[in-house]
Structure 1
Amino acid sequence: MIVYRLSKGTYRNDLSGKGAELAGGRWNSKGTAMLYTSESIALCAVEVAVHMPLGIIPKDYHLVQIEIPDDIPRQEIREADLPDTWKSFPHANVTQEMGDKFVTQGDYLVLKVPSATVQGTFNFLVNPRHPDFSKIRLLATGPFEFDKRLFIK
């Protein structure tokens, strides 16, 4: 399976999950390392865009392509299993608790979760502390230019 992420140029080769560990996110609290990836390039772009102020076009982003072996079992959280508040902003504690538990238990390398930004699409969260983490491969990185129309006021 090929997954994607958009990273600032400085961090394009960093798959440690350190950024999420420092800042926290929808699916992890501060202090829990997690690598956020998406099923498509388009979903990555939307996931970045929703965090940018209108009128500010993201600069110096790189598209990162990552291969996760198909034979690696993964856990999945279905939208039907989530409370109505799971998409809230700021992030709901319930989703952070689920992600933290996924990392702490360490049973799976990958957690498939629904995207809060694009209905019917999925993000794949990777536990960088899992023993199988060394099986994922960074395939390619390259500059990514956002369409300015996404950020027009």
Structure 2
Amino acid sequence: MRALSLSLRPASPEDAPVLHGLFLRSPGYFALIGMEPPTLEDVLQDLRTLPQDPRRRAFLLLLEEEAVGYLDYKLHYPEARDATLSLLLIREDRQGQGLGKRALRHLLGHLAGVERLYAVVYGHNPRAKTFFRSQGFRHVKDGGPALSWYVREL
């Protein structure tokens, strides 16, 4: 059995309905962080802001042609040789299939010049914390009751 190809495509405002659909199919994540999924207009507005921050990158994760996740990170943050992964979301019906590991491996292969990758975990999310630890990240600090920072040296 062949593994399906996972690719990353830069997200654009035209992808707002697709990304909104991913968010709606991941209600558990939003429950963990204590909020409702964003509206389509909120998603569209966020994607429209991407060009305003030259350090920010956002990608749809595609399994063949099916949107299965979203990856959002910032280069040169918090320091010049760092990157910070603010969201790696795999659609709930696709979790547990190794897609998060594959997406992270892809990201790591494209971070030329980056010495440290931070990952931010929002809310009480033990599954995300376990995932990042299993991928070589270590806990750095908590930024309050709903925010944890992890780091991996590259």
TM-score normalised according to structure 1 size: 0.27
User: Which protein is richer in strand relative to its size?
Assistant: 2
TM-score normalised according to structure 2 size: 0.27
Of structures 1 and 2, the one scoring higher in RCO (CA 8 A, sep 6+) is 1
